[in-house]
Amino acid sequence: MTMIDEQPPRAGKRPATVQGSAITLAHGGGGKAMHDLIEDVFLGSFDNAVLATLEDQARFSLADLARHGDRLAFTTDSYVVKPLEFPGGDIGKLAVCGTVNDLAVGGAIPLHLSCAVILEEGLPIELLRRIMRSMAVTARAAGVQIVTGDTKVVERGACDRLYINTAGIGVIRAGVELGADRGRPGDVVLVNGLLGDHGAAILNARGDLALSTPIESDCAALHGLIGALLAAAPGTRFLRDATRGGVATVLNEIARASRVGIEIAENQTPIRSEVKGFCEILGLDPLYLANEGKIVCVVPEAEADAALAAMRAHPLGAGAAAIGRMTSKQPGRVVMHTGFGGRRIVDMLIGEQLPRIC
Amino acid sequence: MKFVDEFRDPDKAQFLLTEIRALVGRIERCRSRPLSIMEVCGGHTHAIFRYGIETMLPEEIELVHGPGCPVCVLPMGRVDDCITIAQTPGTIFTTFGDAMRVPGSKQSLLQAKADGADVRMVYSPADALALARKHPDKQVVFFGLGFETTMPSTALTVLRAEAERIDNFSLFCNHITIIPTVKAILDSPDFQIDGFLGPGHVSMVIGNTPYNFIADHYRRPIVVAGFEPLDILHSIWMVLKQLAEGRAEVENQYSRIVPEHGNQVALDAIGKVFELREFFEWRGLGSIDHSGVRMRKEYARYDAERKFKVLDAVIADPKACQCGEVLKGVLKPWGCKVFGTDCTPETPMGALMVSSEGACAAYYRFGDLEKIHLKQVAARAPERA
C-alpha cells in the first residue's frame, strides 16, 4: 500500500487536517483518519512532483537517471533509534542521512528515497509532524526527493513509538570502482573528522547515565563531501560510513576483505575530549561507538594528500585526518600503536559493548 | 583530558622503561627464567592490554593476570540462580552490564532477557533502588557482585532501602573478598610468582595493612597500583626495585587515592550489612574458605537469597578448562588446550574468556594472535614428542 490514499486531494479544497493529538489504530485503517494524516503530515512535509502524482509507485525516466552515471545503486535501512529526538538530530534526519550515505559510499549520487513508517498507537501527532518536517528539511538540503511511502499503525506495545524504513536509489558515476577488497599495502586510511559523537550522544540522551555533556550527534549527509573527495582522489579504493560498530569494525572488514594488515596510530585518531571522558567513565572504547556523519576512506598513498585536502576544504571534513595505513604484515588484523607507546590489536566487536563494573 | 593525560605521557613511559631495564639487569634470578609479576585486579589487566604495556616491557618480565575479575570468577551455579530469580513473575532483575554475558549452565542473563525475563542493565545499585521506588508492585533485585570496591555502594543502598522502607528491593549478594583468594594462590603447591601489583580500588576501601602477610610471611613484594599506564609501569618498577634490593614490603604507589588504613565509612557500611560466608565457589579456582560475603540476618528482608528460592547448586567447570592454572600463573592462556578453539569470547567455556578483563579474553581480543599461535605450537610440542 502506498502512503497516498486512493483518492487524490480535491483541488480547491483546503488540505485535510488530522484530528486528535495522538495516533490511534484508525490512522492506519485506510479510512478518513488515515487519509487526513497522510495529507496533513506526510504530503504537507514532502511536497514534490513525483509524490504529487499519487500513484502506487514512483516513476522515473531512465534517460534522466543515465545522465548521472552508468550504474544504479539501491539500498535500504530501517531506523529504530531511541530516543526519537536527540542532541544533533532525530530519527527523521537519521533516516535520510543514513540512506543517502549508504548510497554515497558506493560512489553513487543519491536521488530518490522512500519513506515507510510504523507508528505505535498513542504516538503524539505533533512529534510525528516534527520528525517528518525534519526528514523533509534534511532531504531538501541533501538534494534528494522522498517519492513514495507507506504508513502502518500497530497496537500499543507492538513497536517502540516510531520506526522508519527508507530505501534509496542513486546513480554511480562512470569510472568509479570502490570495494572493501581493493586495499593494497601502502594505502592510507583517512577519516573525515571526530569519531564517536553519535554513539555517545545517543547513550547520553537516554538519560539513565546522569551525565551532563554537550555531545551532539554528527548525523549528516556526506554525498557532497564524497563527491569532492572522489574528484580529488579518483583512485580511491574504498569508502564506508562508520555507523554501528564504529571505525574499528569497518577497519576489520577492510583488513579481512583486502587480506592486508592495517596499522593505526591512537594519537592521530581524532576523538573529542568529551567523548574520551564519556568512554572513560563508562568503560567503553570510542573506536566502537557509532558515527552517523563519518566515513573511513582508503586511498592510494600518492593521492592521500589531495584526498585529505579535499575533505578538509569541505565543512563536513574540516577535522579530517590520516589515521593509519595498510601493510603486508599480519593480513586481516588491525593493530593500534597506542599513544602511550605500546601496541594492541583492535578486533571486531563481540556482542554489544557492555560497561565494565569497576 | 586534564588529570588523565598526564598519567599517559609516552616520554615519561620511556624514562620508566629505561629504569626498568636497568633494574632487570641487576636482578640475578631473571637470568635463568623470566620474573613473574601478578596483577591481582582485572582493572589492571584491562589497562595493560588497552595501552599495550606488555609489548613495551623487556622479555625478562612476565605479567600474570590474576583472579581479580569478579565477572570472570562468577560460578555457573550463581548465574543459574540469577536467571531463576529473573524469571520469577513480577520481578525486575538489575545487573551491571558486563555480567549479562556470563554463561550459566544453560544460558546467560542476556539470553534470559531475550526469552522474556525482565533483566535491566544499571550503572549503580542506586539505580536499582530508584526502580524499586518507581515500581512498588514489582520485586526489584540487584545483582551485587565485585570485590571490596563495589561492596560499600551495595551496602549503603541496602541501608538506604531500610531507611526508606522500600521492601520490594532486595540484593542477590555475590560479593567476594580479595585477601583469602590471594592467600589461596600463595598457598597453592605450584605457586611461582615473584611479586604482586596490589588492587588499587579495593585498597582504597580496605587500605594497605591487610597485605602485610604477603610481605611478612610469604616474602613477596606487593605494590598497590593505580590504573593509568604510568601508574602500572611505575608500580612494576617499584616491585623490581624491591626484588633488586632483596626487600619484600607492602608499598603504595596509588597514594593519591589509597589511604593507609582504607575508608572507615565504607568499611563500617560493609561490616554492618555483610558477614563472611564459610566458603564461596569460584569459577576456575573452586571453593575458597571465607572468600565471599552474605547479608546479615538483620537484613533478611532485603536478601534475595532468602526471598527467592535459589538452588545454590555447584556446577563443575568444563573438564577441558584450565582457568585455575592460568589464574595462578602456572599456565599462559595460550597454553590451555581449548584457548581460541573451543573457548572464544563468543562462546566462552572458561572464566577467563568471559569478560574483557579476563586474561584469556584480553589475549584473544588485544593480543598478537599470530605470535600466540607460534607460542602455542611450541608449548604443545613436548606433549607430542
Q: Does A342 touch chain B (CB under 8 A)?
A: yes
Lowest mean pLDDT among A285-294, B94-103, B376-385: B376-385
* Better-predicted residue by pLDDT, B334 or A1: B334
Q: Do B52 and A277 touch (CB under 8 A)?
A: no
Instruction: Please report how many Cα atoms fall inside a 13 Å half-sphere around the Cα of residue B263, on the Cβ side.
Output: 18
Residue A156 scores a pLDDT above 90? yes
How far A65 CA lies from chain B's nearest CA (Å)? 45
Q: Rounded to two decimals, what is the model's pTM?
A: 0.89
Q: Do B369 and A351 touch (CB under 8 A)?
A: no
Q: Does A329 touch chain B (CB under 8 A)?
A: no
Residues contacting B267, CB < 8 A, separation 6+: B152, B205, B206
Give the number of other Cβ atoms within 10 Å of residue B124's Cβ. Answer: 17
Instruction: Give residue-wise pLDDT tens across range A255-305.
Output: 999 999 999 999 999 999 999 999 988 888 999 999 999 999 999 999 999
Among the partner residues A273, A330, A339, nearest to B8 by beta-carbon distance:
A339
Place domain A180-345 in its CATH homologous superfamily: PurM-like C-terminal domain (3.90.650.10)
Backbone angles phi, psi at A173, to 5 degrees: -60, 140
Distance, in Å, from the CA atom of B150 to the CA atom of B173, rounded to the nearest integer, reads 11
Residues of B in contact with A347 (CB under 8 A): 364-366
Among the partner residues A280, A341, A358, nearest to B149 by beta-carbon distance:
A358
Q: Do A276 and B1 touch (CB under 8 A)?
A: yes
What's the pLDDT score for residue A15?
A: 65
The whole-number average pLDDT for the span B39-61 is 92
What's the pLDDT score for residue A11?
A: 46
* Better-predicted residue by pLDDT, A31 or B208: B208
Nearest Cα neighbor of B146 from B183, B176, B120 is B176
Q: Do B345 and A350 touch (CB under 8 A)?
A: yes
Written as one string, the DSSP assignment of B316-370 is: PPPTT--HHHHHHTSS-GGGSTTBTTTB-SSS--SGGGTSTTSHHHHHHHHS-HH
Residue A178 scores a pLDDT above 70? yes
Beta bridge partners of A190: A297, A322
Q: Does A31 touch chain B (CB under 8 A)?
A: no
How far B345 CA lies from chain A's nearest CA (Å)? 7
Q: Where are the domains of chain A?
A: 25-172, 180-345
The radius of gyration of chain B from alpha carbons, rounded to an integer in Å, stands at 21
pLDDT confidence tier of residue B374, bands split at 50, 70 and 90? low
DSSP element (H, E) containing B78: helix B76-86
Lowest mean pLDDT among A142-156, A310-324, A344-358, B199-213: A344-358
Q: Which three cell numbers stand for residue A260?
A: 592486508
Q: Where are the domains of chain B?
A: 1-316, 323-380
Beta bridge partners of B39: B65, B197
Instruction: Give residue-wise pLDDT tens across range A206-260.
Output: 877 777 788 999 999 999 999 999 999 999 999 999 999 999 999 999 999 999 9
Instruction: Give residue-wise pLDDT tens across range B216-273.
Output: 999 999 999 999 999 999 999 999 999 999 999 999 999 999 999 999 999 999 999 9
Please identify which residue in the block is written with the cell numbers 572458561.
Answer: B350
Distance, in Å, from the CA atom of A306 to the CA atom of A188, rounded to the nearest integer, reads 12
Fill in the amino acid letter for B179.
I
Among the partner residues B96, B149, B368, nearest to A345 by beta-carbon distance:
B368
Nearest Cα neighbor of A17 from A44, A35, A36, A4 is A36
Q: Does A280 touch chain B (CB under 8 A)?
A: yes
Average pLDDT of chain A is 91
pLDDT confidence tier of residue B371, bands split at 50, 70 and 90? low
Q: Are B37 and B261 in contact (CB under 8 A)?
A: no
Interface mutation target, options A206, A264, A274, A340, chain B, most CBs of B under 10 Å: A340
Among the partner residues A330, A333, A338, nearest to B51 by beta-carbon distance:
A338
How far B125 CA lies from chain A's nearest CA (Å)? 11
Q: Are B195 and B222 in contact (CB under 8 A)?
A: yes
Among the partner residues A282, A336, A345, nearest to B367 by beta-carbon distance:
A345
Among the partner residues B8, B42, B100, nearest to A340 by beta-carbon distance:
B8
Q: Do A340 and B71 touch (CB under 8 A)?
A: no
Residues of B in contact with A273 (CB under 8 A): 1
3-class state of residue B142 by DSSP:
strand
**Annotation: CATH topology of B1-316:** Rossmann fold (3.40.50)
Nearest Cα neighbor of B45 from B62, B64, B27, B29 is B64
Q: Are A184 and A326 in contact (CB under 8 A)?
A: yes
Backbone angles phi, psi at A213, to 5 degrees: -135, 150
Distance, in Å, from the CA atom of B352 to the CA atom of B99, rounded to the nearest integer, reads 13
Residues of B in contact with A338 (CB under 8 A): 50-52
The radius of gyration of chain A from alpha carbons, rounded to an integer in Å, stands at 22
Q: What is the chain A residue with the closest CA to B144?
A: A357
According to the per-residue pLDDT averaged within each range, which of B138-142, B312-316, B360-364 is highest? Answer: B138-142
pLDDT confidence tier of residue B139, bands split at 50, 70 and 90? very high
**What whole-number percentage of chain B has pLDDT above 70?**
95
What's the pLDDT score for residue A14?
A: 59
A–B interface: beta-carbon pairs under 8 A: 99
pLDDT confidence tier of residue B358, bands split at 50, 70 and 90? confident
CATH architecture for residues A25-172:
2-Layer Sandwich (3.30)
Q: Helices B359-366 and B42-50 meet at what angle, rounded to 10?
A: 10
What's the pLDDT score for residue B379?
A: 60
Q: Does A357 touch chain B (CB under 8 A)?
A: yes
What's the pLDDT score for residue A83?
A: 93
Q: Does A351 touch chain B (CB under 8 A)?
A: yes
CA angle (B175, B51, B24) in 5-degree steps:
95
Lowest mean pLDDT among A131-135, A315-319, B63-67, B323-327: B323-327
Q: Are B199 and B68 in contact (CB under 8 A)?
A: yes
Q: What is the chain B residue with the closest CA to A266?
A: B51
What's the pLDDT score for residue A147?
A: 93
The whole-number average pLDDT for the span B320-349 is 86
Residues contacting A77, CB < 8 A, separation 6+: A95, A98, A99, A102, A165, A166, A167
What's the pLDDT score for residue B376?
A: 63
